[in-house]
Structure 1
Amino acid sequence: MGANDARRTVTGIDRRGGLSVQSRLLIMLLLVSLLSAAVVGAVGYVSGRESLRAEVVDKLTAMRELRTGEITALLGEVQREAALASNNASARDASTALNAGWDALQNRPLSGEQDATLSSYYSGTFLPRLEGVTGDDYADRAFVPTSTAGRNAQYLFTRQDGAADRPATDPGDGSAYSAAYLQADDYFSDLVRTVGYTDVVVTDLSGDVVYTAAGGVDLGSNLDDGPFRESRLAQGYRDVVAANSVDTIVTTDIEEWTPALGFPVMWVVSAIGDDDGITGAMALQVPIQWINDVTTGYEQWQQQGFGATGETYLAGSDRLMRSTSRRLVEDRDGYAAAVIADGTSSDTAERITEAGGSVLLQPVRGTAVDEAIAGRTGTAVSTEYIGGESITAYAPLDIDGLDWVIVARMDASEAFEPVTDFTRTLLLSTLGLALLVSILSLLLSQSFTRPVRRLALAVRSVADGDYSTRVPARGTDEFADLARSFNDMAGDLEVRQELIDHQRTENDRLLRSIMPQSLIEKYREGEETLAERHDDVAVVFAELLGFDEYSRSLDGQAETLALNELMRGFDEAAVRCGVESVRTLRGGYLASSGLTVPRVDNARRAVEFALGMRESVQRFNARTGASLDVRAGVDTGAVTSGVVARASLAYDLWGDAVSLASRLRRSGEEPGVFLTDAVRTRIEGLFDLEDAGTVHVDGRETPVWRVS
C-alpha cells in the first residue's frame, strides 16, 4: 500500500473516490440510533410538556376560583357587619348625640394654651413620625382642622398612641360632645376589640369626622374641604350621603392613609339612620392583613399545592398590587434583587422591603394582568413582576366598588422541571447510545486496519509539526518494529524542536517586554541607534499616593500581591482606553497614547486613562479598606522613544512632554488628574476642568488644569 492509499484509508475515502465500508457502517448505525432517539424524545417532550402545563393550569385555575370566592365572602361579610352595626338604635343614638355635641363645640373656641398644646402635638409628635415614614415635608398646621369644633375634638380626644382597641379617656371638660363621644366609644370601639377592625370613623352629614375609635388626626377634619378631601374615604362618604338611604354600602379601594402614617387601608362605608332619613355615615377600616391572609392562604403555599414559587395576588386597574408577594414574605433580599432586575425601580424596591409589604407599591405587568383588567378570564404563559415566565390563571373580581383582578401564578421553570429532567436524561442517553454505536462499529471494521491507520495518522501528525505523536508498539511483528522505529525518530525530532522553540520564545518574550515591535525589528537587523521620534503623543506620568503607608502593615508577599493587583488594574485601563504602557515603577506608571498607533484623540484617551487609574484605585480601596489615590500629569507633544543601552536593554521615553507630565505629577500633594494648557485645548468641552495654578517650566509659568 502506498502513501496515497494510506491517506485514503485514514480519511475514510476509498480508491474509487467514495466512502469506505467502515465509514458507511459507522454513519448508518449513528443515523438510525440518533434518529430513533430524537423521534422518541420529541414525542415525549411535547406530550409531557403539554400534560404538565394542563395539570398546572387546572391547579392554578382551581386556586384562583377558591381565592376569588374567599375574598368575595370576606368583603361580603364586612359589608353585612357594616350594615348591622350602622342600622340600629345604638348607632343612631350615638350619631345624633355626636352631631348635637359637635354643634355645641362650634361656639367654644380653644384658649391660647389649648391651641398651643394642639400645635405642639403635631410639630413634636405626629409630623416627625409621618415625615420619617413618608420622606415628605408638611406644614406645622397642615392637619389642624379649620373649624372650632374640629380643633376642640382633636384637643380632647386625639391621642398619640392611636390605639383603636382601648376605650377613650374622659377629658373631664364636661361638654355634651365629650359625653356623646364616650357613649359612642362604648359601642363603636367594641367593633375593633371583638371583630378586629383597625378603626371606626363616624361623620355627620356635613362631612365632619365627629368620631374615630383610634383618635387619629382625621378626627375633627372635614371630608369635603379638609386635608383628606381627595381620599377614598371622602369619596365613599359622599356616595353614601348622596344616596340618602340606610341600605347604601360603599366599599373603597385600598389607599395610603395619612393618619395611619401612610399605611394602606380600605374602607366599608355605611349610612347611619332609619327609614326617616340618615344622620351620618360610619366607615369600618378593614385590616389589610385580612386580605393578605386570604390571598396567601395564611402563607401555607406549599401545603396548598403551590410548590416552591406559586402564589395568588390581587392587582388594581392602576397595575399596582393589592396583596403581598410570596417572594417578599419568604426571601426579602432575593425579592428586591428579582423585581429590580425585572424593571422595578430600586427606590420602589427599597420602600417595599422597608415596609414589609407590596400593597400599592409593587407594579405588575404582563399578559395576565392586562387581560384581566380588560375584563377577560383565562390562562397564559406570561412575564411576571418577579422576572421570568410564569404559568398564570387570571380573572377580574366582581366586587362592587373595587376594580380588582386576581392572578394565580407559578414559575414556568418549576412547572416544567420534570420535562427539563426528561430532556436532560434523553440527551445523555442519546450521547451514550451514539458513543456505544461508534465504538461497536469501529471494533467491527478496524480489526485489521488499525496498525496501518495508526501509523499513517502518526506520519501525518509529524508532517504537520506535532512531534509528540506516538504509536503503540505492542507485539513482536513487523508493525511493532516499524512503530518502535517511528517513535524513536519522533522523539528525537521533538527534543530538538522543543529546544529551538524554547529559545525563540524566550528571546521574543524578553524583547517584547522592553520595546515595541518597530524597535524589535531594528534590533534584530543590527542597527546601532534604536530610537524613534514621535511628533504628536499624549503622555501620562502617574504616581501612586499612600502606598508606602499602606504597605507598612503588609509583609513582603502581601505587598507584592497588592502592587501587582494595582498595576494589573492600570494595565487593563490602558488597554481599554487604547493607551500604551511604557514603564512601571513601584509607585509610578508611565504611559502614552499615539506612540505606536497614531491617534487623533490621543489627549482624550490619555485623560480617560488617568481617570481610569483613579477608578481602579478606588475599587481597590473599597475592597481592601486602603486610602490610596493617584496623582497624574498629562501633557502632549513630541517625544523620543528608544533603547538606551545594548548590553542591558532598557526602553524609555524622553522629551519635553514627558518632562512636563512628570513635573505636573510632582507639583503638589493633592491627588487628581492635572493637565497642561496644550491638553486642555484638545479636550475642552469633554471634561469638567478647574484652574489648578501654574508650574514653573524654562523660566516661565505654565498654567495647570485639574479634571474635576
Structure 2
Amino acid sequence: MSTQTVRPVAPDDEGTDPPAGRGQGASPPAGPPRRRRRLRIEIQTKLLVMLLGIALVTALVVGWIGYRSGSAALERAAEQQVTQVRESRAREVASYFTGLQRSVVLNSRTAERAMEAFEAGWRELEDADVSDAQRAQVTSAYTDVLLPQLAENTGQDFTVESFLPTSDAAWYLQAQYLDPALDYDKALAVDDAGDGSAWSTAHARFHDTLREIVTQNDFEDLLLIDPDGDVVYSAYKGVDLGTNVLSGPYAGGALEDTFREAVTSNGEDYVGLADFEPYQPLADEPTQFAMSPIQDDGRTVGVLAIQASTDRLNEVLTSGGRWREAGFGETGETYLVGPDGLMRSTSRLLVEDPEQYLDRVVGAGTPRDVAETIVRLGNPILRQSVQSTAIEEALDGETGIVRTTGYRGKDVIVAYSPVDVPGLNWVVAAAVDPSEVFAPVNDFQRQLVLAIAGMLLLAAIASLALAQVFVRPIRNLVTGVRAVSGGDLDAQVRVRTNDEVGDLSEAFNEMSRSLRTKQELLDAEQREKDRILHSLMPPDVAEEVKGGEETIAHDYQDVSVVFADLVGFEEFTSDMDSRRSLDHLNELVRSFDEAAERTGVEKVRSLRNGFLASCGLVVPRVDHTRRVVEFAQELQAAVAAFNARHDADLALRAGVNVGTVTSGIVGRASVMYDLWGDAVDLAYRMHAQEPEPGIYVTDRVYDTVRGQFELVEAGTVREPDGEHPVWRLEDRA
C-alpha cells in the first residue's frame, strides 16, 4: 500500500499574497488565507463521460476489427470465385483441345482411302492442260478478292504473282473448284465439277464424308497433304488447294513446322498442335492447325490438317456469351494469351460494346489502327496485346492472383495460370474489376457504420442510467471507510479533487494510519518467508509454491548431476558434542556452497553425509558437464583444506552423470525440493558402490570431458539395460 507524506502547504500554493519579506511593500495577510475555488465536476458526470468514451472506443475497435476481418473474408471469397472461374475455364480449354486431338486422330484413320484416292488423282493432273481463260479466271479471284482483303487486314500491298499456283495440277483444280468470289460455303457444297478427272471422281466419292466431318465439328477447313507437302484436298476449296506447304506461297511458320513434325512422327496417335498464326489464304485471319499422320500399315501416306474454329474456342472461354450466368458478373471475363503476349481468344468488352472497347484499349496504349482493325473484324486474336506481370508469371509456369492494370487500361484483379495443353505455351487469365469484387465490402462497411451508430446511442442511454447507479455506492463507501478506520499511517495521500473521490481520499488517509504498522509487519513476515523459501529451492519453483501449486515436477533433458558424500566424518566427530559436530558440518557445507557458486552449479540438497547438485537445470549451460566435474574437484579441495585446518582425515566420494532428470516438490505439510531420475540414480549407485574415495564418472560424462581431465578406468556399474563402464578422475597434484 503506497502512501505519500503530507507536506505543509505554503500560502503561494493556495493563491494568497506573499508573506512579508518576500517583496517590496509586503504586509502580513489579514485574516485566514483564501482557498482557490475549484470547479466542481460531479463524479456522476465524470463516470458518464468515461462510460461513453469506453463505449465509443470499444465500438470503434470492434467495428474496425469486424471491418478488417469481414472485408478480408469477403475479399477472399471474391478472389476465390475469380480463381474458381479461372480453374474452370482452364479445365474446359484443356478438355476442348483434348477433344480436338481425339477428333483429328480418329478422322485421320478414316481418311486413309481418301488420301490415296486424292493423291492418285493429283498425280494424274501434274501435266494437266490449263487454258488461258482458266488461268485468267483464277488470277481474277486473287486480284479482285484475295489481295484487297489482305491489303485491308494488313495495311500492306501484295503482288498477285507471289500467290498464284506453281503447278499445273494446282491451276487445274482451282480453275475447276475455286469460286470466283471466293465464296467458300458455295465451294463446300460442290460434289463434282464434272470434268471427268480421277481427282473429281475421288472428290465425288469422299467429299460428302469429309464435308460432314467439317460441318459437325465446326472446323474452318480440312486439308489432306501428301508426304511431299502438296495440299491434294481442301474441303472449302480455298486458294491453298494444290499449294505446297513446304515450298509454295504459304510455306513457312507454324503450318510448315507442324506438317514436318506430323509427317515424321511415325505414330498414328500423334497430333501436332500449332499456335495461331496469320494465314494468308484466309486474308491473314488468325488460324490454328491440328495435324495427324495418315498411315497405311505403319507407313505415313499423308497428313490430315484441321483448321480449328476460333468460334468454338471463344465459346468455351465466354460460356457462349453468357458471362453473367456463368458467374462472371458484370465485368468479369476469361481470355487466353500466347507467349508473344497477344490474345488467343476474344474480349468481352469487344463483344458487348465495340465502341467502348476501342476507346479503352487505345487509351491503354494499343495503336489506333490496330484497335480499329480488331473492332472491324471483331477478332482480337494475334492483335490485342496483354502485357502485365501476371501474364509474364503465368508464362513462366506460375499460378496466382494479383491486382494489376489490364489491357483496357483499368485496374483489374487477375487470376492466372498456364494452360495444360501439350505444344501450346498459353496462359488463361480470369479478370474482374475491383469495384465489382469489393462491392460487398462497401455494403458491409455501410451496414457496419449504421450498426456502430446504433450501438453508441444505446450506450449513451445505458451510461446515463449506470452513472446514477454507480455514484450511490461510492458515496456510501466514503461513509463506510470513515466508520471502520481506526489507525494512523505516517504517510498520507494528497487530496487533489473536490468531489466524491476527494472525500474517499480523506477517508483513506484516516484508515491508512491504522494499517501502516500492520502492513509493515506483514511485509516483513512475507520477506522472511520468501528468503527461507528461496534458500530451499530454485526461484521458479519457489514462485510456483507461492502460487499455490501442490504438485510441482519438471522434466529436464541433458542435465549433469553429482552425488557426493564425506568418508570418515562419523569417525571424526564421534567423540564431539552435537554443537561442535554441527559447526564442523556447517563449515564444510559453506565451503561446498561457495564452490557451487564459483562453478555455476546449482545445489539441490545437503545432508549430514551427502551433497546433491546439478548443472544445466535452472540455468541452461552448454558446458554443464565440465562445470560439474570441476565442482567435484572443488569439493575435494575443500575437504583437503578442512583436513589441514582440523587435522582430520576426511575424504570425498562422488559420482557424476549426465542425462534426463526430474525436479519437484516432495511432501505437503513439510515440503522439500528434490531431484530424481535415471541420471540421479546412476550417479548415486556409482558413488555408493565404489569403496575408495574419489570422483567417478559414467561413460556419457567420459565422452564429453575426456580431453579436459585425466580419467582412468575404474570398473563398471550395473544398469537395467546392462553394465556401463566407470572412470575415475585422477587427483590434481
Structure 2-normalised TM-score? 0.53
User: What does 1:555-634 correspond to in 2, within 5 Å?
Assistant: none
1:582 is aligned to: none
SS, match of residue 133 in structure 2 = helix
Does the 8 Å CA contact 1:381/1:392 hold for their aligned counterparts?
yes
Instruction: Name the aligned partner's letter for residue 244 of structure 2.
Output: N
Equivalent position to 1:177, from 199, 204, 214 = 199
Equivalent position to 2:118, from 87, 95, 98 = 98
User: What does 1:204-243 correspond to in 2, within 5 Å?
Assistant: 204-243=226-265
Question: 1:110 Cα shift?
Answer: 2.1
1:599-627, CA deviations, whole angstroms, 9 ceiling, x for partnerless residues? xxxxxxxxxxxxxxxxxxxxxxxxxxxxx
Question: 1:424 Cα shift?
Answer: 5.0
SS, match of residue 64 in structure 1 = helix
Pick closer, same or farther for the CA change 1:337–1:368 going to 2, 3 Å: same
Instruction: Name the aligned partner's letter for residue 148 of structure 1.
Output: D
Equivalent position to 1:114, from 134, 139, 160 = 134
Pick closer, same or farther for the CA change 1:292–1:418 going to 2, 3 Å: same
What is the rounded CA distance, in whole Å, between the counterparts of 2:368 and 2:55 in structure 1?
Answer: 53
Instruction: Name the aligned partner's letter for residue 203 of structure 1.
Output: I
Instruction: Name the aligned partner's letter for residue 286 of structure 2.
Output: P
1:360 is aligned to: 382
1:140 is aligned to: 160
Question: 1:172 Cα shift?
Answer: 3.1
Question: 1:339 Cα shift?
Answer: 2.3
What is the rounded CA distance, in whole Å, between the counterparts of 2:165 and 2:48 in structure 1?
Answer: 93
1:154 is aligned to: 174
Query: 1:269 and 2:288 equivalent?
Result: no
SS, match of residue 376 in structure 1 = coil
Pick closer, same or farther for the CA change 1:436–1:49 going to 2, 3 Å: closer
2:317 is aligned to: 295
User: What does 1:690-705 correspond to in 2, within 5 Å?
Assistant: none
What is the rounded CA distance, in whole Å, between the counterparts of 1:392 and 1:15 in structure 2?
Answer: 69
What is the rounded CA distance, in whole Å, between the counterparts of 2:37 and 2:206 in structure 1?
Answer: 110
SS, match of residue 390 in structure 1 = strand
Query: 1:196 and 2:218 equivalent?
Result: yes
Q: CA RMSD in A?
A: 3.5
SS, match of residue 301 in structure 1 = coil
SS, match of residue 271 in structure 1 = strand
1:127 is aligned to: 147
Does the 8 Å CA contact 1:165/1:189 hold for their aligned counterparts?
no
Question: 1:77 Cα shift?
Answer: 1.5
Does the 8 Å CA contact 1:344/1:363 hold for their aligned counterparts?
yes
Question: 1:388 Cα shift?
Answer: 3.2
Instruction: Name the aligned partner's letter for residue 164 of structure 2.
Output: V
Instruction: Name the aligned partner's letter for residue 251 of structure 2.
Output: R
1:656 is aligned to: none
Question: 1:129 Cα shift?
Answer: 3.2
Question: 1:386 Cα shift?
Answer: 2.7
The percentage of aligned residue pairs carrying the same residue is 40
Question: 1:127 Cα shift?
Answer: 1.9
Does the 8 Å CA contact 2:315/2:321 hold for their aligned counterparts?
yes
Question: 1:173 Cα shift?
Answer: 2.8
Instruction: Name the aligned partner's letter for residue 161 of structure 1.
Output: D
Equivalent position to 2:354, from 310, 332, 335 = 332
Pick closer, same or farther for the CA change 1:348–1:380 going to 2, 3 Å: same
SS, match of residue 403 in structure 2 = strand
Instruction: Name the aligned partner's letter for residue 199 of structure 1.
Output: D
1:260 is aligned to: 282
1:551 is aligned to: none
What is the rounded CA distance, in whole Å, between the counterparts of 1:267 and 1:416 in structure 2?
Answer: 41
Pick closer, same or farther for the CA change 1:387–1:251 going to 2, 3 Å: same
SS, match of residue 399 in structure 1 = coil
Does the 8 Å CA contact 2:334/2:431 hold for their aligned counterparts?
yes
1:18-37, CA deviations, whole angstroms, 9 ceiling, x for partnerless residues? xxx9xx99998997676455
Instruction: Name the aligned partner's letter for residue 127 of structure 1.
Output: L
Does the 8 Å CA contact 2:153/2:373 hold for their aligned counterparts?
no
What is the rounded CA distance, in whole Å, between the counterparts of 2:54 and 2:85 in structure 1?
Answer: 46
What is the rounded CA distance, in whole Å, between the counterparts of 1:184 and 1:119 in structure 2?
Answer: 28
What is the rounded CA distance, in whole Å, between the counterparts of 1:334 and 1:301 in structure 2?
Answer: 18
2:76 is aligned to: 54
SS, match of residue 214 in structure 1 = coil
Question: 1:338 Cα shift?
Answer: 2.3
What is the rounded CA distance, in whole Å, between the counterparts of 1:29 and 1:351 in structure 2?
Answer: 69
1:537-580, CA deviations, whole angstroms, 9 ceiling, x for partnerless residues? xxxxxxxxxxxxxxxxxxxxxxxxxxxxxxxxxxxxxxxxxxxx
Runs of 5+ unmatched residues, structure 1: 1-13, 439-708
Structure 1-normalised TM-score? 0.55
Equivalent position to 2:399, from 377, 383, 390 = 377
Question: 1:432 Cα shift?
Answer: 11
Does the 8 Å CA contact 2:188/2:237 hold for their aligned counterparts?
no
Pick closer, same or farther for the CA change 1:356–1:125 going to 2, 3 Å: closer
Question: 1:65 Cα shift?
Answer: 2.1
SS, match of residue 70 in structure 2 = helix
User: What does 1:541-552 correspond to in 2, within 5 Å?
Assistant: none
1:410-437, CA deviations, whole angstroms, 9 ceiling, x for partnerless residues? 2111111122234456668889999999
Instruction: Name the aligned partner's letter for residue 226 of structure 1.
Output: G
1:61-109, CA deviations, whole angstroms, 9 ceiling, x for partnerless residues? 2222222222222221121121111113xx2222112222222222124
Runs of 5+ unmatched residues, structure 2: 1-35, 461-733
2:662 is aligned to: none
Does the 8 Å CA contact 2:139/2:160 hold for their aligned counterparts?
yes
Question: 1:124 Cα shift?
Answer: 2.1
What is the rounded CA distance, in whole Å, between the counterparts of 1:412 and 1:199 in structure 2?
Answer: 41
What is the rounded CA distance, in whole Å, between the counterparts of 2:199 and 2:187 in structure 1?
Answer: 21
SS, match of residue 391 in structure 1 = strand
User: What does 1:455-494 correspond to in 2, within 5 Å?
Assistant: none
What is the rounded CA distance, in whole Å, between the counterparts of 1:116 and 1:133 in structure 2?
Answer: 25
Does the 8 Å CA contact 2:75/2:441 hold for their aligned counterparts?
no
Instruction: Name the aligned partner's letter for residue 110 of structure 1.
Output: V
User: What does 1:78-89 correspond to in 2, within 5 Å?
Assistant: 78-88=100-110
Pick closer, same or farther for the CA change 1:431–1:55 going to 2, 3 Å: closer
User: What does 1:272-287 correspond to in 2, within 5 Å?
Assistant: 272-287=294-309
1:459-492, CA deviations, whole angstroms, 9 ceiling, x for partnerless residues? xxxxxxxxxxxxxxxxxxxxxxxxxxxxxxxxxx
What is the rounded CA distance, in whole Å, between the counterparts of 2:117 and 2:177 in structure 1?
Answer: 16
2:657 is aligned to: none
Does the 8 Å CA contact 2:67/2:448 hold for their aligned counterparts?
no
Does the 8 Å CA contact 1:122/1:141 hold for their aligned counterparts?
no
Question: 1:117 Cα shift?
Answer: 2.0
What is the rounded CA distance, in whole Å, between the counterparts of 2:59 and 2:410 in structure 1?
Answer: 30
Pick closer, same or farther for the CA change 1:426–1:347 going to 2, 3 Å: farther
Q: Comparing 406-415 with 287-296, which one deviates more in the overlay?
A: 406-415
Instruction: Name the aligned partner's letter for residue 108 of structure 1.
Output: A
Instruction: Name the aligned partner's letter for residue 420 of structure 1.
Output: N
Q: Comparing 286-295 with 28-37, which one deviates more in the overlay?
A: 28-37
SS, match of residue 223 in structure 1 = coil
Equivalent pairs counted in the alignment come to 426
Question: 1:306 Cα shift?
Answer: 1.9
What is the rounded CA distance, in whole Å, between the counterparts of 1:340 and 1:112 in structure 2?
Answer: 49
What is the rounded CA distance, in whole Å, between the counterparts of 2:363 and 2:37 in structure 1?
Answer: 62
Question: 1:303 Cα shift?
Answer: 1.6
Query: 1:389 and 2:401 equivalent?
Result: no
Pick closer, same or farther for the CA change 1:142–1:435 going to 2, 3 Å: farther
SS, match of residue 343 in structure 1 = coil
Query: 1:346 and 2:368 equivalent?
Result: yes
Pick closer, same or farther for the CA change 1:26–1:393 going to 2, 3 Å: same
